[in-house]
Amino acid sequence: MFFYLWKGMNLMEFKAARIVNQLPDHYFAGIYEKVALYKSKGIDVINLASGNPDLPTPHSVVQALKNAVDVKENHGYSPFFGKKQTLEAIALFYKREYGVKLDPDTEIAIFQGSGIGVTGIPQVLLNPGDYLLTTDPAYPAYETAATLAKANFYQIPVYEQDGFLPNYETVPEEIVEKVKLLILNYPNNPTGALATEDFFEKSIAFAAKNQFPVLNDFAYGAFGFDGHKPISLMQIPGGKEYGIETYSASKTYNMAGWRFGFVVGNASIIKSFKHFHSHAYSTIFGAVQDAAVKALLGPQDPVRELCQRYEKRRDFLVQQFRKMGWNVPYTPGTFFAWFRVPEGFTSKTFADFLFDEAHVAVAPGEGFGENGSSYVRVNLLNDEERMLEAVNRMAKTGIFNKATEGSS
């Protein structure tokens, strides 16, 4: 009887917590849904918007996972804070790549993808009323992190002529007094900018003067072009004292779906984060950890080849766009390009136009902040044939014949 009564009732709708309602819609979800909708109708959309690597994980890493799956110890829970060999591999990786010495037990924590670090660390450090400081534009997850921590959010406008590096002197003093975390992201998503040693030194000095930590989201640390190797914040004097750095296997080793990331740096923050993580999240499958060790300590030729491939794609795309009449720059890093939209468009109207008229998806820059409203983000995650097809479709709209100027 109860079953039939329940069956005839309207389903209850329960209200989400206030903090959930404060979260914005996921920036990329709308783009992905629109692409999927068009594809379901048989329309071929060239996706230059997403950040999902298009190339496979190195074979040696895949094989390491296959072997590790058969290891009995990996069938149970892995150690709470990670396998000893995983933490040691990260320390060796940083020593080899950046000349930085890390204590595996106190200066490293691992998690399922660096997004957990980016959103979790602010919850460890911020209280209601505190400020999370970052740039404009910035990766949207930073604002989400501030919201989840019930903290305030302030963005420093950055500009192309300054290499998209913030000027800390522009931050109002009343904001600086309440900042408890500065988040940087170099190599930068969305702009592709690289940090200089001088900029990181100024960032550490700014943090030391005002007694707050700096988090550098180093997810694209493997990808610097034109002979430039991206700098780690940990390389800078005072980096470990005032800084932490998140890193991800997703981009460097094409392991986006594997979900392996880590944070290194200031021991007090690492300790607090590990305590938080032990309550909020689970451990990483032991076989994935074993494969990550192989990636970090194995031959790095695939990483260098991947960087060269992205640089080649960047060069090709810029050259083709310039031939078409869109005067765009050579961005210096990541696997994204950041291009100013033609005159008469906003980032959204331009992205909508390309989607509707050329069936090419790009990411509107306004999703990264107010200062991105004149730009779109374009990925380097398609082969040259596919990119050329996108350029040809865009050219056929005739829009660039009307454009008098673009980015310089």
Question: pLDDT by residue (tens digit) across 349-386?
Answer: 999 999 999 999 999 999 999 999 999 999 999 999 99
DSSP letters, 91-152, are HHHHHHHH-----TTTSEEEESSHHHHHHHHHHHH--TT-EEEEEES--THHHHHHHHTT-E
Q: 109 φ, ψ to 5°?
A: -135, 145
> What's the topology of domain 59-297?
Aspartate Aminotransferase; domain 2 (3.40.640)
pLDDT(408) > 50 = no
- Under the banding of pLDDT at 50, 70 and 90, the label for residue 340 is very high
Mean pLDDT, residues 187-210 taken together: 98
- Under the banding of pLDDT at 50, 70 and 90, the label for residue 25 is confident
Under a CB-based contact definition with an 8 Å cutoff, are residues 342 and 394 in contact?
A: no
pLDDT(9) > 90 = no
Under a CB-based contact definition with an 8 Å cutoff, are residues 58 and 302 in contact?
A: yes
Under a CB-based contact definition with an 8 Å cutoff, are residues 77 and 405 in contact?
A: no
> Above pLDDT 70, what percent of the chain?
96
* Full-model pTM: 0.94
pLDDT tens digits for range 388-398: 999 999 999 99
pLDDT(407) > 50 = no
pLDDT(197) > 90 = yes
- Under the banding of pLDDT at 50, 70 and 90, the label for residue 316 is very high
pLDDT(29) > 90 = no
pLDDT tens digits for range 56-97: 999 999 999 999 999 999 999 999 999 999 999 999 999 999
- Under the banding of pLDDT at 50, 70 and 90, the label for residue 32 is confident
Under a CB-based contact definition with an 8 Å cutoff, are residues 142 and 183 in contact?
A: yes
Q: How far apart are CA 380 and CA 308, in angstroms?
A: 12
Domain ranges of the chain: 15-56+302-400, 59-297
**Three-state SS at 182:** strand
- Residue 2, judged by CB atoms within 10 A of its CB (0-12, 13-18, 19+), counts as exposed
Q: How far apart are CA 195 and CA 231, in angstroms?
A: 7
CATH assignment of 15-56+302-400, among 3.40.50.300, 2.40.50.140, 3.90.1150.10, 3.40.50.720: 3.90.1150.10
Give the pairing of strands 375-379 and 363-364: antiparallel
